[in-house]
Structure 1
Amino acid sequence: MTNPSTLYRGGMLHCPADPSATALLVRDGRIAWLGVDADAPSADRVVDLAGSLVTPAFVDAHVHATDTGLALSGLDLSGVRSAGELLDAVSAFASGLPGDAVVLGHGWDESYWAQRSLPDAAALDRAAEGRRVYLSQASVHSALVSQAMLAACPDAAAAPGYDPSGWLRRDAHHVVREVALASVNRVQRAAVQRAALRRAASLGIAAVHECGGPGTSDESDFAGLLAMSGDGVPEVYGYWGELLGAAKARELGAVGAGGDLYADGALGSRTAHVSAAYLDGEPGACGHGYVTAEQVRDHLLDCAAHGMQGGFHAIGDAAISTVLDGFAGAAEKLGVDGLRAARHRVEHAEIMNRRLIAGFVEYGIVASMQPAFDRLWGGAGRMYEARLGLSRSLESNPMGAMHSVGVALAFGSDSPVTPLDPWGSVRAAVAHHSPAQRMSVRAAFAAHTRGGWRAVHLDNEGVLALGAPATFAVWSTPAGAQRGLPVLEAEDPELRGVDDPTPLPVCRATVLRGDVIYEEGSA
């Protein structure tokens, strides 16, 4: 017996194969018919789209659900603009907590502050009245912590990246982060994870790629999230980032042994491994590389032995170069075609050059990128320029150049590093600070939809087509739509760019394989 069918009619469909289509029929989780209203078949249920736009739903190709949920429900520091504002926010938040609670906050970014001095551990102790405090920087690769938190993590003092001031990076940050997140019990963790997934669904996102692993999330956190996949929320495809951990990744239910397998750190924390020294750091400092080419090679061979997709977090050009040297070593054993078939990934790929882009093309590497990084930190006067200089900053996040030569792109947010905001990410790719790196709306949308499915080897997903999974989103488009996609840029060229005032689409419903996982106005 078939499930009840639903006819969605009276809309505008993003359906390049049938641009005139205004309706679709969903039966048994698939699109059973597409066409114009007048030709629509009968159905058990009819939904009037009232002129709304229907597109394939988004895929966010890089998220951290637990951290996202904690940021949604906890102390959001993204708006603070000074050390004093940060301390005031901590004090206000901590005042409502039990004395033994841990203050968890996220999102401070000193690159936006006029005075970039940071509060020390003692000041955080005073603000939180002695409570343990863990405040992750926007990149989530460093954190400010209180004296009470340092006292609870004695092993951190011997780890690279430790600073008694309370600004921790590298291994010391990972030690303290593990202790801080352990203060969130299983029930709380499940609640914030589900809150993050529901938030994604409300934005037209039907699938996310969760990037976990040692130093990022523990095994129970990762497995618990995967168990929620598709249960009234978006599907979750997990990547477990542990070196030589393909067997562990498979055991945990991951689709790949990669994601946040760190080849380096982050630009915000000056730990991304770059070939030329940071302009605003210690003299000669180029960040840190966490793996060797031989380790990259052996990890890829381990992935091949277990039939798993692999990948690495690599931001700086020196780290990406190391990763590609490892690919070359693996190719000697597996052949280039063998590597290409696996669709291994590199997360972020922020600082690139032509040689590195050519390596992505040669080995068929999927570039999992975050357009919002350029929107927030690219261009004159922002963090990339401070760290790298203007000319190098304008070469960052070269998604346009990569797309133009055939690199497979999968867009995401790295939430909570940047918010879940798929149309905002599409517009960020269209309005890149460097004109040479800009993409069309159609190409950027494809990277954020079909690109995410292809990155997990689901090549038939992400389209509105007869027989395809009925996974789509319904949008109101206050700025209008053209050729099956919303208008994202102002008509006046002077208003276009990262601060374009054109209103973005608003999600009315998200459908995953025929099931409604979000509906506007529902609880």
Structure 2
Amino acid sequence: MMNPSTLYRGGVLHCPADPRATALLVRDGRIAWLGADADAPVADQVVELDGALVTPAFVDAHVHATDTGLVLSGLDLSGVRSAGELVDAVAAFAAGLPGDAVVLGHGWDESSWADRRLPDAVGLDRAAGGRRVYLSQASIHSALVSSALLAACPEAAAAPGYDVSGWLRRDAHHVVRAAAQGSVSRAQRTAAQRVALRHAASLGIAAVHECGGPEISDEEDFTGLLAVSGAQVPEVYGYWGELSGAARARELGAVGAGGDLFADGALGSRTAHVSSAYLDSGGGSCGHGYLSVEQVRDHLVDCAAHGMQGGFHAIGDAAIGTVLEGFAAAAVEVGTDRLRAARHRVEHAEIMSKRLIAGFVEYGIVASMQPAFDRLWGGAGRMYESRLGLDRSLESNPMGAMHSVGVALAFGSDSPVTPLDPWGSVRAAAAHHNPKQRMSVRAAFAAHTRGGWRAVHLDNEGVLALGAPATFAVWDTPAGVDRGLPVLLAEDPEARGPQDPTPLPVCRRTVLRGEVIYQEGAA
């Protein structure tokens, strides 16, 4: 039978246009009917929902698929709490590898350790039995590496960010990262990408925005990922972060010339460009800005010339200020209306001010943000406080303030920096450490669904509506449902916050344009 129709019935639908709807019919990849079970049309096949919740599927607006897959199938260091535990984890993992293998690990974060001293390069050599070791910090903007890997990359010693201890930042980190990633075969990369995308589908994610570029991944890795997009896995929308590289981005199949086009680094590695010095830098450092106003301007003008969406990675307020000055300069050349129509993006936008937020509104900039950053590192006693002080920490990741004045938001994870966890991200936005920065569950859900589609100019996606693409997820909701969305926050207001104990929904099925890309219990 060609293109059989499927009726999903007996559920609770997140359908604001028809809040009493309990069933939907899928035909030819679109929603052909919505309504009550009793009024449902005849279909070729029927799926009984048994009271499950149906919502639009999620979009993760910032991922690194290959790295995510390698972490899911490799050495995950997010749980280590000391240098000793890290070394032990490396030793145990390396013991099962060939002698010429490179040990790749990710996720350590010393800001949460009681003793923040790190193992040095020689210690990693011993733990890995002489193998080369590359261990990226949670932010992926710095890494611990072994002496063996340093010796294999002599050019790193002359690059900014080099340290003989083996903790590398900035350009030195980029050099060593490229060498370490080069040890992964194409077959391993493809397998890792599929692991990541299948995992995303199991969490109700139907599309991801891959942020690649010369300093993140090579072109073959990027185009290889785009080639598997939507093939029984979530769709992939690629961003290629190469300065003034709009033409090349289009050639590679990217939807935008942005993503991880670095205006600065990260707070975890103290390379985000901030206006006031890091409190724990020991030398009054304000991080590093990697782009000038003129470079930002020229990139945006290049994007306009090629009809491409552009964007930048900018975390610190000084870096974001540089980006906005570049927007102002570009507006002189191409006009503000043209900039707004492009929906250019800024990834992360963590340290903001009212003036900077106003710039996002003026130029129609999409803020691609990661609520889990506040959940993991915001608030008292966590990494942001160590780097910035408590007051500045509580002002970070101001999603609520940005939403309240109309900044377009698209939520994601930056996986593997934080795990793929869409409902966790929705709750994190609704339970920000700073109550003034919280937003409603409904608004956060929209940022993680429709916001992601709108960020790639697909304005009719991300809704359950007649004629819309049949892209949705089916959920068990152990804490119940409230007005078409799962209960994510504790009933007691005092218990609400980043560590809220309310159980999150569990995905039973993910459907992309009518095709099932994840089914609970399926092999």
- The TM-score with structure 2 as length reference comes to 1.00
1:461 aligns to what? 461
Verify: 1:262 aligned to 2:262, yes or no.
yes
- Please state whether the residue corresponding to 2:478 is helix, strand or coil: coil
- Describe how 1:87-98 pairs up with structure 2 within 5 A: 87-98=87-98
2:318 aligns to what? 318
Query: Which amino acid in structure 1 is aligned with residue 307 of structure 2?
Result: G
The answer to whether the Cα contact below 8 Å between 1:244 and 1:298 also exists between their aligned partners in 2 is: yes
- Describe how 1:81-480 pairs up with structure 2 within 5 A: 81-480=81-480
1:63 aligns to what? 63
**Inter-partner Cα distance in structure 2 for 1:522 and 1:425:** 26
**Inter-partner Cα distance in structure 1 for 2:278 and 2:288:** 12
- Please state whether the residue corresponding to 1:458 is helix, strand or coil: coil
- Please state whether the residue corresponding to 2:445 is helix, strand or coil: helix
Residue-by-residue CA offset, 1:179-219 (whole Å, 9 max, x unaligned): 10111101110000000000000000000000000111110
- Please state whether the residue corresponding to 2:318 is helix, strand or coil: helix
**Inter-partner Cα distance in structure 2 for 1:215 and 1:98:** 28
1:9 aligns to what? 9
Query: Which amino acid in structure 1 is aligned with residue 262 of structure 2?
Result: Y
Residue-by-residue CA offset, 1:432-452 (whole Å, 9 max, x unaligned): 000110000000000000000
Query: Which amino acid in structure 2 is aligned with residue 206 of structure 1?
Result: A
**Inter-partner Cα distance in structure 2 for 1:120 and 1:331:** 48
Q: Per-residue deviation at 1:2?
A: 5.4
- Please state whether the residue corresponding to 1:209 is helix, strand or coil: strand
Query: Which amino acid in structure 1 is aligned with residue 50 of structure 2?
Result: A
1:77 aligns to what? 77
**Inter-partner Cα distance in structure 2 for 1:269 and 1:215:** 16
Residue-by-residue CA offset, 1:218-240 (whole Å, 9 max, x unaligned): 10000000001000000000000
- Please state whether the residue corresponding to 1:25 is helix, strand or coil: strand
- Please state whether the residue corresponding to 1:221 is helix, strand or coil: helix
Query: Which amino acid in structure 2 is aligned with residue 191 of structure 1?
Result: A
- Please state whether the residue corresponding to 1:8 is helix, strand or coil: strand
RMSD, aligned CA: 0.6
**Inter-partner Cα distance in structure 2 for 1:134 and 1:152:** 12
1:500 aligns to what? 500
2:39 aligns to what? 39
- Please state whether the residue corresponding to 1:443 is helix, strand or coil: helix
- Please state whether the residue corresponding to 2:129 is helix, strand or coil: coil
- Please state whether the residue corresponding to 1:367 is helix, strand or coil: strand
The answer to whether the Cα contact below 8 Å between 1:2 and 1:28 also exists between their aligned partners in 2 is: no
**Inter-partner Cα distance in structure 2 for 1:320 and 1:76:** 31
Residue-by-residue CA offset, 1:46-105 (whole Å, 9 max, x unaligned): 000000000000000000000000000100100101101100000000001000000000
Query: Which amino acid in structure 2 is aligned with residue 67 of structure 1?
Result: D
Query: Which amino acid in structure 2 is aligned with residue 288 of structure 1?
Result: H
**Inter-partner Cα distance in structure 2 for 1:47 and 1:37:** 12
Q: Per-residue deviation at 1:494?
A: 2.2
Runs of 4+ in 1 over 6 A off after TM superposition: none
| Structure 1 spans left out of the alignment, 5+ residues | none
Q: % of aligned pairs identical? A: 85
Residue-by-residue CA offset, 1:267-325 (whole Å, 9 max, x unaligned): 00000000000000032200000000000000000000111000000000000000000
- The TM-score with structure 1 as length reference comes to 1.00
| Structure 2 spans left out of the alignment, 5+ residues | none
**Inter-partner Cα distance in structure 1 for 2:153 and 2:430:** 44
Query: Which amino acid in structure 1 is aligned with residue 456 of structure 2?
Result: V
**Inter-partner Cα distance in structure 2 for 1:89 and 1:3:** 50
